Amino acid sequence: MDPMHRRLATATATAVSVATVGLGLLPLSAVASSEPWSWPLDRQSVGERFDPPADRYGAGHRGVDLAGTVGDPVRAVAPGRVTFAGRVGGVPVVTIDHGAERSTYQPVAATVRVGDAVAARQVIGTLLGEHSHCPGACLHLGRRAGSDYRDPLDVLARARFRLISPYGTPPAPPAGADGTLRRPVGGPVTSPFGMRVHPVTGVRKLHDGTDFGVPCGTPVHAAARGTVESSGDAGAYGLRVTLRHGPALETSYAHLSAASVPVGSTVAVGDVIGRSGTTGMSTGCHLHVMVIDAGTPVDPMSRL
């Protein structure tokens, strides 16, 4: 970071500590273990690393820079509540309180408001190009416990894994070969997972899935192998097909114009399960995709 941006970071932390990574030295207690954080960008590329200041008001790098592209969705690293969404020293910042720690994100065009509860991997805004101190667009991610700086890389998860017993029959693999799901249609994302004002009701609420802009009648493919849990009218969701992929994982496909799989049947990844439409409470042709993990909707783009 150049001297000008180091001075700005110091001044920002002094003026508005609630929205920044905070002031103070990194104590020995900061190396204590913490719950893993999810990656806030889809791309996992680290630029400038954590470099705490030598003294309380000294220059330093109070977080980590993650390379991205302007417009990239920025996601919450863990469940929490938004405590700040505004500008600090002219830089757009979002702060999320996770209980024992807080995370900060800048420069971000926020799509959440103060007081919003967020889930891990929920989109909280988009990455901006201006106010970046990197050669290209980057997200400055901060981690703070009280007034102490902590290194975000100590808790950022780099891979997903699970432990299994070496005895008996191995468990079924995840829904996808690498634990991910296959995208059910092409087309752009027209409305991401997260808080928004509903286009029909005008009520601000959680958008519990991802909308893909595709013409009516587009074939919709199963995101993974599974069993058809339900198929039929689902009120505001219109004609919907729900697939179960394991004890805790489901995907659903809403606003369909047609469903082509019966309840109880088994489908393979990529099988056509229906066609997109605009049934239910819909403003036009699109596909609404939901991913439900242990009964809770999660951001589909974190799995696709």
Return the CATH number at 291.
Answer: 2.70.70.10
Scanning 155-233, the segments in alpha helix (DSSP H) are none
Residues in the chain: 304
Domain residues for the domain of 269 are 189-302
Report which residue type is found at 170.
Answer: P
Q: Which of 154, 179, 208 is the last residue of a domain?
A: 154
How confident is the model over 263-275, as pLDDT tens digits?
A: 999 999 889 999 9
Judge whether 14 lies within some domain. Answer: yes
**Does residue 73 have a cis peptide bond before it, meaning omega lies within 30 degrees of 0?**
no
Residues 15 and 136 in one domain: yes
Judge whether 143 lies within some domain. Answer: yes
DSSP 8: H
Ranges assigned E (strand) in 25-174: 64-67, 73-75, 80-88, 91-97, 102-106, 108-110, 117-118, 123-127, 138-145, 148-149
Judge whether 209 lies within some domain. Answer: yes
What's the pLDDT at 29? 31
What's the pLDDT at 165? 52
d(CA 128, CA 131): 8
Judge whether 160 lies within some domain. Answer: no
Q: Which of 108, 128, 154 is the last residue of a domain?
A: 154
Residues 141 and 213 in one domain: no
Judge whether 34 lies within some domain. Answer: yes
Instruction: Specify the 3-state DSSP secondary structure of 88.
Output: strand
d(CA 172, CA 164): 11
55 confidence band (pLDDT: 50, 70, 90): low
What's the pLDDT at 50? 79
Query: CA end-to-end span of the chain, whole Å?
Result: 34
Question: Across residues 48-56, what is the average pLDDT?
Answer: 73
Per-residue pLDDT for 13 more than 50? no
How confident is the model over 206-233, as pLDDT tens digits?
A: 889 999 988 999 999 999 999 999 999 9
What's the pLDDT at 45? 78
What's the pLDDT at 81? 94
Highest mean pLDDT among 44-48, 58-62, 116-120: 116-120
Judge whether 178 lies within some domain. Answer: no
